[in-house]
Structure 1
Amino acid sequence: MGQSAEFGKFLKAMRARLSPEDAGATESGGSRRVPGLRREEVARLSGVSTDYYTRLEQGRNIHPSKAVLESVSRALRLDTGEHAHMMDLLEHCASSAANPGPAQKVRPALRQLLDAVGDVPAMVLGRRADVLAANRMASLLLTDFSSMPATERNLTRWTILDDAARDLFRDWKTVAAEAVGSLRMDVGRHPNDPRTNQLVGELAVHSEHFRQWWAGHRVATRSAGIIRLHHPVVGDLELNFETLGLPDDPDQLLRVYSAKAGSPSSDALTLLSSFGGVATQAEVPEPARRDYS
């Protein structure tokens, strides 16, 4: 495994968030000029020399063993998603050549499934949370991604930059911060993807919230949970969401929203389904490829 500057930045950010008390480190004395653990404290907790850990944070081209990585992960109190992101940063170091990868396609049977679920909002997300396909109910619940320019059909972009999304999500900051954390995970897996880098740049230019969250190097891997919405047509809803990986393409996810049977939110979804403002979408087309040379 190689080493990358992003890996070092991630370690530094994770170190900065911990106090000695949080990490179980003994105070080493002296005033602290910056918050968080010192490098020597992380090194001691990890069982490595301060010089070795410093080289890790500086992005030197060294090859840490699995045992060292596990020790550093424990010292920094990384959760499962953070540990996976750390490993991605090591395994997928950015090469000198930009590689956008092949265009993602949604299988016809999966498109049929989206329409077959009827009153259940469902969509297929690709790399960087591009909306590859969405059914009619997902469009009525969230927004009609097919009406957007091809390069803007991205769930994270819409969540952060569109005022309608800010009004829709009752816990907008939590939802948006988690979307940024998921994008951070995607960058770890595909560190030199041109469209991903373009999206990060656009969000950084237009959103102070994004800049703050991105600088924190936090990651998010929540695949299920509850979202609270205030819909402009049917009012308040509380929905469960499930995000399922697709075996044929690990970078494609099926996301489904549902309401508890007999609940007011279930009634609201039924009412929403009666509105016909959005035609059924078999597939949101793949955004046009750009020349980044």
Structure 2
Amino acid sequence: MDSSKLLGEFLRARREVTSPAQAGFLHAGSRRTPGLRREEVALLAGVSTSYYIRLEQGRERHPSTQVLAALARVLRLDADATEYLYTLAHPWVRPQVPAAALEKVSPSLFQLVNRWHHIPALVIGRRLDILATNPLAEAVYEGMTHVDNCLRMIYLSPGADELYPDWEKAARAKTAQLRAALATDPEDRYLHGLVEELSLHSEEFRRHWARHEVRMRANEVKDFRHPKLGELTFTWEVLTVSGTSQQLVVLASEPDSPTERAVKQLADSIAARNPVPVL
């Protein structure tokens, strides 16, 4: 997909979710459509209305860094969304990754993850594919289908809304991460196919995707409602794998917490089913 078209779609979506009050128009009155008008964005960003319209229509392909900074300010973009804006506007500065390249986890990383018998861990690729998991991580996500990809799992697995106590928040975050992933390679057919698949099968995905929210994966606290162990709280520690666009995610729990005790229970159960052979 043409990055200029993505830029225009992004600007329009963010304009429509930025209220006049947020932009400083305290007496804007009632409106038939939500958000700011094009001429208001142009005024606040210090550009002509015709120039801004060309940006939204994908006809202006070379906005300056000053214009981008002004638009990020007017549309109240956070750091992730601002980086996404710059990436769409200047696609030539990013390294291109072959769309057909198959991501694989190195044997040493795979062995490392599976040697952690008391810590759930997984490896996520640049397309949000789940490339590797250890038995504990698989036990945490017990009952989920479509475990090949984070987006498929949260939108297409029948029990996802039970696993995530705040499913709406989790789904929006994953969708925002997919938007960021697509910015790294707008021509990636796999990612476009994933968007089409999710759009076809999930009304919720279509709703979230239309918001054009952007987010990079980062350390955060996540809650789960496990079918057997009840409420679990993990701190996701996200580590970038050197020399790749993959990320190692470790699900850490507080010492002596109910979650740590539940994880130990899972680990003991796994060990009982798969005893280490004595040599």
Give TM-score, length-normalised by structure 2: 0.89
8 Å CA contact 1:99–1:192 kept in 2: the answer is no
Q: Take 1:253 and 1:227, find their aligned partners in 2: how far apart are those partners? A: 17
Q: Take 1:225 and 1:264, find their aligned partners in 2: how far apart are those partners? A: 18
Could you give the per-residue CA deviations for residues 19-44 of structure 1, whole angstroms, max 9, x where no partner exists?
Answer: 221012465x6863311111111111
What does 1:208-227 correspond to in 2, within 5 Å? 208-227=203-222
Q: Take 1:230 and 1:144, find their aligned partners in 2: how far apart are those partners? A: 12
SS in 2 for 1:7: helix
RMSD after superposition: 2.4
Matching residue of 2:267: 273
Q: Take 2:224 and 2:74, find their aligned partners in 1: how far apart are those partners? A: 38
Matching residue of 2:191: 196
Q: Take 1:230 and 1:26, find their aligned partners in 2: how far apart are those partners? A: 43
- The one-letter code matched in structure 2 to 1:272 is L
- The one-letter code matched in structure 1 to 2:23 is A
8 Å CA contact 1:233–1:272 kept in 2: the answer is no
2:33 is equivalent to residue 8 of structure 1: no
Matching residue of 1:238: 233
8 Å CA contact 2:143–2:159 kept in 1: the answer is no
SS in 2 for 1:127: coil
Matching residue of 1:170: 165
8 Å CA contact 2:222–2:234 kept in 1: the answer is yes
2:224 is equivalent to residue 229 of structure 1: yes
Q: Take 1:216 and 1:89, find their aligned partners in 2: how far apart are those partners? A: 16
Q: Take 1:163 and 1:182, find their aligned partners in 2: how far apart are those partners? A: 21
Q: Which moved more, 1:59-68 or 1:46-55?
A: 59-68
Moved beyond 3 Å, runs of 4+: 277-280
SS in 2 for 1:129: coil
- The one-letter code matched in structure 1 to 2:176 is G
Residue correspondences, number = 269
Could you give the per-residue CA deviations for residues 24-67 of structure 1, whole angstroms, max 9, x where no partner exists?
Answer: 2465x686331111111111111111111111111114311111
SS in 1 for 2:248: strand
SS in 1 for 2:223: strand
Matching residue of 1:75: 74
2:254 is equivalent to residue 255 of structure 1: no
SS in 1 for 2:212: coil
Q: Take 1:203 and 1:31, find their aligned partners in 2: how far apart are those partners? A: 35
Could you give the per-residue CA deviations for residues 66-119 of structure 1, whole angstroms, max 9, x where no partner exists?
Answer: 1111111111111001111112222338xxxx9524221212221122123221
Cα gap change, 1:279/1:224 in structure 2, threshold over 3 Å: closer, same or farther? farther
- The one-letter code matched in structure 1 to 2:33 is V
1:278 Cα deviation (Å)?
Answer: 8.2
Cα gap change, 1:279/1:130 in structure 2, threshold over 3 Å: closer, same or farther? farther
Matching residue of 1:181: 176
SS in 2 for 1:115: helix
Q: Take 1:51 and 1:16, find their aligned partners in 2: how far apart are those partners? A: 18
Q: Which moved more, 1:174-183 or 1:101-110?
A: 101-110
Q: Take 1:87 and 1:108, find their aligned partners in 2: how far apart are those partners? A: 36
8 Å CA contact 2:63–2:89 kept in 1: the answer is no
8 Å CA contact 1:25–1:45 kept in 2: the answer is no
Matching residue of 1:24: 24
SS in 2 for 1:21: coil
Q: Take 1:270 and 1:36, find their aligned partners in 2: how far apart are those partners? A: 50
8 Å CA contact 1:136–1:278 kept in 2: the answer is no
Q: Which has the higher contact order (CA 8 A, sep 6+)?
A: 1
Q: Take 1:186 and 1:3, find their aligned partners in 2: how far apart are those partners? A: 13
What does 1:76-225 correspond to in 2, within 5 Å? 76-92=75-91, 100-143=99-142, 153-225=148-220
- The one-letter code matched in structure 1 to 2:39 is E
Unaligned runs of 5+ in 2: none
Could you give the per-residue CA deviations for residues 268-292 of structure 1, whole angstroms, max 9, x where no partner exists?
Answer: 1111112239879xxxxxxxxxxxx
1:255 Cα deviation (Å)?
Answer: 0.8
Give TM-score, length-normalised by structure 1: 0.85
